Chain A
Amino acid sequence: MGWISPRTLNRLGMLNMNRRNVDYIARYNERSSYPLVDNKLKTKLAVAEYGVKTPRLLQVVRQQHEISGFREMAEDLGGFAIKPAKGSGGKGITVITGRDGDDYIKASGSRLAAGDLERHLTNILAGLYSLAGTPDVAIVESLVESEPTLARFSFQGVPDIRIVVFRGYPVMAMLRLATKASDGKANLHQGAVGVGLDIGTGRSLNAVQFNRPIVLHPDTGHALENIDIDAWDEMLEMAARCYEATGLGYMGVDLVVDAKEGPLLLELNARPGLAIQMANGRGLLPRLRTIERLKRPHFTPRDRANYAMEVFAAL
């Protein structure tokens, strides 16, 4: 592996970390909006008012003594996910798919005793997974049943779709597929596969794992070049809507497609990563600058999604 010259990167319009931080995140994201995206519970409540669906909220565990109530509630549930509200990067998320006697079955197939789950909740409340180590709350959500056509591309874990939204316009998207290396998580730096998606059509462009281009999924062996996302314009509109809900100018919107409910918002990210550009094989800068140059922004999420589909398919 060699080096790439800064001039080539400029020509490709690659957004880099420093420019993202200075020119986009710092300039377009209000500090006061951060708690909204850094806290999944607040996100859920905020976007719900703008008609963005999220996985159903089953319970919120706020206090240590509420943990006993959790067991009662979990009695009659098949599958659910426990998440720290202020967690980042998928840290502390435990997905339970079923029961076996007193034990719970994790998505990976391993078992967890009820005591283990309670300890996990205690850790979440103490702030083990929260960004600044501050006390947190645990939220229990209904399990997302991944849409089967997409699910077969992923090794365990639910594939999700990351869309970068700039001033309400969806500018770039990728599909993230868990791998054995990423331990069922959809984080690219842990080894998940990123598949770039054509913003105009929702078709796959090319794929990367650990920043290197790949053609086949390393675990499932599926070819990654002919993926086509259903209900693509609906998803783009959902992503565009999150702008109104949060006011964040530059963010990453993570969506999943549920078999029954369709697209759901998983979480928002005020500091989305840069790997999406490598999955797409395109730099973000030309698209971001197109939006910055717009004299009359579109008002409705629908219009913005349409504009993006029209203009960015070519860029």
Chain B
Amino acid sequence: MKPRSRLPFYIGVFLLIAAGISLAVWRHVELGIPWLTGEQRPVWMIEARIDFDAANSAVQASLNVPEDPPGFRILMEQAASPGYGFSILDKSGNRTAEWTKRDVSGPQTLYFKAQFVPAETVSKNIPSREPSARNVFWEEPQATAVREVLAQASERSSTPESMTRELIRLMQPDARTQNTTLLVSEENYLDLLVDMLNHSGIPARTADGLKLEDARRRQSLKPFLQIYNGEQWLTFDPNTGEQGVPDSLLLWRQGSASLLDVVGGDNSEVSFSMLRQTVPALQLATMEVDSNGLGFLSFYALPIEEQSMFRMLLLLPLGALMVAFMRIVIGIRTSGTFMPVLIAVAFVQTTLVPGLIAFLSVVSIGLMMRGYLSSLNLLLVSRISALIILVIFITAGLSIFGYQMGFNTGMTVTFFPMVIIAWTIERMSILWEEEGAHEVIVQGAGSMFVAICAYLLMSAPLAGHLTFNFPELHFVILGLILLMGQYTGYKLSELKRFTPMKAYD
């Protein structure tokens, strides 16, 4: 008989484990499900407040709201404004929040709240239609000044980006020449910059950004310059020439739409308050599951009742893994192969110490009663059946007794599987009669030890978190158990057992 090749088996196990791990990593990356429990993610809660005086007529207020701010993702948005009709409109690429009401008078306040999560996703700052530079008409003497400044900047630059940087540098107060002083005044700086860039053939526009600082109120938007370099829109700080969007900056408005329009009111202004919140990363992930194609692989979509059932069920493989390890590699003897797992499951529901006390007392009372049963010389089946009923009486008795005494530990006894306990008692008592108390203690202690180890593993918060949120990790457990089934090495206990063989070495 030629031994079958084990290679396909090992390849299969390797694939199983690799699939489990890579699926988990993929879901971690894609859905953001955290590896650890209690991981927190920062979330920015930003509130835009619009104030205006209504002029006793119908009012329509529209606020430009961000759609895909670079570096952030919108988690949730909502508006608070009593008596107003509210909707979010998408007008040719610009998202606008619109409040409407008939017959309003007096000062009005409207709120718009949104939660933003920092995200590493590359922002899609690529316009659907190629923007083109608009024509600007300059009057003399500005025209000459503009031409000269642009010529100067263009001489020292090679790309639209460097052109922009140079231009900003030339316009700074400390670098100003006669030409620039002629052009720049306090109010028109940014618009001038945009006009000049457009004039030089680079599409440019303004954007509004919000500097994120925790617990700030009444903040206003800071203007930024954006140019189109032929591929995408790039953001510049108009005062320093620094390129790119800083981490702490949220671009609220991009594009050409105006920030706030109020029809039927005046003195309108918008201000922002912000708050840095932390949200459990897991909650964040579950909130986003629906929107992601990978969501079907998780349990979050199930009803809560089923979810809690699976939470328990998915822990069982860990217990099985522990039993396999203890028996195959360590060599601990237990009474009944998977009895320890079932006891451990009961412990998970009762917590360890009350569960242990309850279990030991049920088994020892049962063993005493079993002593009487064996003197009755019943047939096996009816003896076990009688024992099951006795075990139920014992647990009921303990529960009532415990309740009267004011412990609710008595109640937890009911989590133990009665039939398993009855069989355990039967097996232990036969073992006692045939092999003596020593063997009962060895196997009983072994079972308890494995049950406690399995309990500790199964009740670890991380274990519950990983098994439930990354069910694919069970492939890894399966692979490990399969590998252990092929383990032909010495058990730890055998290294002790075979010690006398030293004499023959």
A binding-site residues for B, Cβ under 8 Å: 1-6, 8-9, 11-12, 14, 16-19, 22-23, 27-28, 91, 119, 122-123, 126-128, 133, 190, 208, 211-213, 249, 277-278, 281-283
Considering the complex, which residues of chain B in the window 465-505 have a beta carbon less than 8 Å from any beta carbon of chain A?
Answer: 485-491, 494-505
Chain B residues near A3: list those with CB within 8 A. Answer: 495-496, 499
Residue of B nearest to A20 (CB): B488
Interface membership of B345, Cβ < 8 A: no
Q: Does B11 contact A (CB under 8 A)?
A: no
The answer to whether the Cβ of B7 comes within 8 Å of any Cβ in the partner chain is no
A27-B1, A91-B434 as given contacts; A16 in contact with B490, CB under 8 Å: yes
The answer to whether A17 and B494 have CB atoms under 8 Å apart is yes
Q: Which one of B1, B331, B488, B501 has the greatest number of beta carbons of chain A within 10 Å?
A: B501
Which A-B residue pairs are the 6 nearest by beta carbons?
Answer: A19-B488, A126-B380, A281-B504, A126-B379, A4-B499, A16-B490
A17 touches B491 (CB 8 A): yes
Cross-chain contact of B486 among A5, A22, A190 (Cβ < 8 A): A22
Interface: B185 (CB within 8 A): no
A14 near B501 with CB under 8 A, answer: yes
How close is A9's CB to chain B, nearest CB, in angstroms?
Answer: 6
| Cβ–Cβ contact B381 & A28, under 8 A | no
- Interface contact B504-A128, CB-CB below 8 Å: no
By a CB distance below 8 angstroms, the chain B residues around A28 are 1
Distance between A147 CB and nearest chain B CB, rounded to angstroms: 28
Closest residue on chain B to residue A19 by CB atoms: B488
Tell me the interface secondary structure of chain B in the complex: helix
- Given A4-B502, A278-B501, A281-B504: A9 in contact with B488 (beta carbons within 8 A): no
Beyond A2-B499, A4-B495, A281-B501, 18 additional contacts (C-beta under 8 Å) are A1-B499, A6-B489, A6-B490, A8-B502, A9-B495, A14-B490, A16-B494, A17-B491, A18-B489, A19-B488, A23-B3, A23-B488, A133-B380, A211-B497, A212-B500, A213-B503, A277-B501, A278-B500
Do B377 and A213 have beta carbons less than 8 Å apart? no
Residues of A within 8 A of B485 (CB): 22
Closest to A282 in B: B504
Given contacts A27-B1, A126-B381, A128-B380, contact A9 B490 (CB under 8 A): yes
* A119 proximity list for chain B (CB < 8 A): 377
CA distance A77 to B468 in the complex (A): 68
The answer to whether the Cβ of B328 comes within 8 Å of any Cβ in the partner chain is: yes
Residue among B1, B381, B435, B499 with the highest chain A CB neighbour number at 10 A: B499
* Cβ contacts under 8 Å, A5 to chain B: 495
Q: How far is the CA of A6 from the CA of B497 in the complex (A)?
A: 12
A-B contact pairs, 23 of them (CB 8 A): A1-B496, A3-B495, A4-B502, A5-B495, A6-B495, A9-B494, A9-B501, A12-B504, A16-B488, A16-B494, A18-B487, A18-B488, A18-B491, A19-B488, A22-B485, A22-B488, A119-B377, A126-B380, A127-B380, A208-B500, A212-B500, A277-B501, A282-B504
Question: Would you give the shortest CB distance from B224 to chain A, in whole angstroms?
Answer: 69
Look across to chain A and name the residue whose beta carbon is closest to the beta carbon of B384: A133
Assembled-state Cα–Cα distance A211/B486 (Å) = 27
Interface residues in chain B, defined as those with a beta carbon under 8 Å from any beta carbon in chain A: 1, 3, 328, 331, 377, 379-381, 430, 434-435, 485-491, 494-505
Rounded to whole angstroms, the CA-CA distance of A127 and B383 in the bound complex is 12
| B328, B380, B503 pick with most chain A CB within 10 angstroms | B380
List, in ascending order, chain A residues with CB within 8 A of B501's CB: 4, 8-9, 12, 14, 277-278, 281, 283
CB distance from A197 to the nearest CB of B (A): 16
Chain A: minimal CB distance from B327 (Å): 10
CB-CB under 8 A for A281 and B503, given A18-B328, A133-B380: yes
CA distance A126 to B383 in the complex (A): 11
Bound complex: CA of A9 vs CA of B331, how far in Å?
16
Contact A16 B491 (CB under 8 A): yes
| Cα-based distance from A282 to B500 in the complex (angstroms) | 11
Q: How far is the CB of A24 from chain B (nearest CB, A)?
A: 10
Q: Which residues of A have CB within 8 Å of B331? A: 17
- Minimum distance in angstroms from B9 CB to a CB of chain A: 12
Residue in chain A with minimal CB distance to B497: A211
In the complex, what's the smallest C-beta–C-beta distance from B13 to chain A, in angstroms? Answer: 15
CB neighbours (8 Å) of B328 from chain A are 18
Closest Cβ of chain B: how far from A159's Cβ, in Å?
21
A47 to B456, CA, bound (A): 51
**A16 CB contact (under 8 Å) in B381, B489, B502:** B489
For A23, give the chain B residue with the smallest CB separation.
B488
A184 nearest CB across to chain B (Å): 13
On chain A, the residues within 8 Å of B487 by CB distance are 18, 22
> Which of chain B's residues have a CB closer than 8 A to the CB of A213?
500, 503
| B489 adjacent to A211 (CB under 8 Å) | no
Chain B residues lying within 8 Å of A122, measured Cβ to Cβ, are: 377, 379
CB contact under 8 A between A9 and B3, given known A128-B380, A281-B504 = no
Residues of B within 8 A of A19 (CB): 488-489
Instruction: Kindly state the separation between the CA atoms of A9 and B1 in the bound complex, as whole angstroms.
Output: 26
Contacts of B490 in A (CB 8 A): 6, 9, 14, 16, 18
Which partner residue on chain A sits nearest B504 by CB separation? A281
Closest to A249 in B: B1
* Cβ-closest chain A residue relative to B505: A8
For the complex formed, measure the closest distance between the CB of A97 and the CB atoms of chain B, giving whole angstroms. 21
Q: Bound complex: CA of A279 vs CA of B377, how far in Å?
A: 40
What residue in chain B is nearest A120 (Cβ atoms)? B377
What's the Cα separation between A8 and B490 when bound, in Å?
11
Q: How far is the CA of A278 from the CA of B488 in the complex (A)?
A: 19
